[in-house]
Amino acid sequence: MDFNVKKLASDAGVFFTRAVQFTEEKLGQAEKTELDAHLENLITRADGTKNWTEKILRQTEVLLQPNPSARIEEFIYDKLDKKLPSRGTNAELLGQYMLEAANEFGPGTPYGSTLITVGEYQKRLGSAERELLHTSATTFLTPLRNFLEGDWRTISKERRLLENRRLDLDICKARLKKAKQAEAKAAVRWNAEHELRVAQTEFDRQAEVTRLLLEGISSTHLNHLRCLHDFAEAQATYYAQCHHYMQDLQRELNRCANSVSAPLSSAAVCPDPVSSAFLSGPPSPGATVSSSSQRPSTLTMEQSQLPVTGTRKAKVLYDYDAHDASELSLLADELITVYTVPGMDPDWLVGERGNEKGKVPVTYLELLS
């Protein structure tokens, strides 16, 4: 018990002496031992790494999970070391609602069947998003957190020890200086010199330990670089899957529109194709395409031999994939020659590009004078 009290008193005395030294340094009343330039540069680089890692981590979490309540819930479960309850993505929830609505309205109706189609693809999009979240958390977020909660805490601890060793060194220097100025006894001066040598040795040893840890920041950068590549690859995979699903959805909706009987307009049953909206933007809002124009009849030999009317140039506004041999696939921003023939649907034109020829939708074109 007596030992503990003495140790506590000794620690309190050391703390008070360091506090006095630190205060006098701030007020310019005491000399301060400066770290060498290399170590100072390592400290500055490490501080920048820590600060930017925190910002990147927080913003990535916001990107992957925009809902702040959900982020707080994930944080709490993580700190409690408990597994987060399984929760569907927004797209999966939307898809489920669409499927339930289709059952109520009747899956055999045009609206109900389209709800089923779109709902299934929404669930696929949600599944792809879930995979992105899992991959990003494993390959990117976790390594960043491990650095902040592991390596950086070790570095911070050693830096605090280095600062304490520096304060002890400067205290010993001040004591020796006062002993020399007061022309103290040889024993007092020898004791002050001995304390200074011990403090200098401990300071040099701690400075070396801290330097080695700070030089490890270069390895941290390399590790984070690999993680960044993995994160970008996960994003590329996710967006490629979404693009693929939306193209498939467009084909499904086109088949839906084509199956509608002639008296019904496709706009009343199935939405317009979505691939052009996904890639470049939708056709003009006022454009209405009839069911016959959604899937025009094949360009017959007789039509191809009819006289050409109004040949002119046109700029393609959106990508378009031909759905059969009578149509011409388009790429956004390319120039083609277009014209019409007698008896042709007004929502379509004949397009020519080199030796290729086929029907193209008017809503995807900007006619040039």
Considering the domain 312-367, what is its CATH architecture? Roll (2.30)
The strand pairing partners of 348, in sequence order, are 361
DSSP 184-200: --HHHHHHHHHHHHHHH
Give pLDDT tens digits for 304-313.
444 556 788 9
| CATH topology classification for 31-261 | Substrate Binding Domain Of Dnak; Chain:A; Domain 2 (1.20.1270)
In the chain, where does the domain assigned CATH 2.30.30.40 lie? 312-367
Contacts 24+ apart (CB under 8 A), 66-74: none
Report pTM.
0.62
What does the buried/exposed string (b/e) look like for 209-233 if buried means 16 or more CB atoms within 10 Å of the residue's CB?
ebbebbeebeebeeebeebeebbee
* Residue 279: predicted pLDDT: 38
* Residue segments in the chain with a per-residue pLDDT below the cut of 70: 1-11, 67, 70-86, 184, 258-309, 369
For residue range 54-63, what is the model confidence (pLDDT) as tens digits?
A: 999 999 999 9
Cα distance between residue 280 and residue 332, in whole Å? 8
**Quick one: pLDDT at residue 5?**
65
Residues of the chain with CATH 1.20.1270.60: 31-261
Cα separation, 310 vs 346, in Å, equals 13
With contact defined as beta carbons under 8 Å apart, do 93 and 127 qualify? Answer: no
Q: How far apart are CA 366 and CA 356, in angstroms?
A: 19
* Six-digit token string for 159: 């830096």
C-alpha triplet 111, 112, 115: angle, nearest 5°: 85
Q: According to the model, what pLDDT value does residue 266 have? A: 39
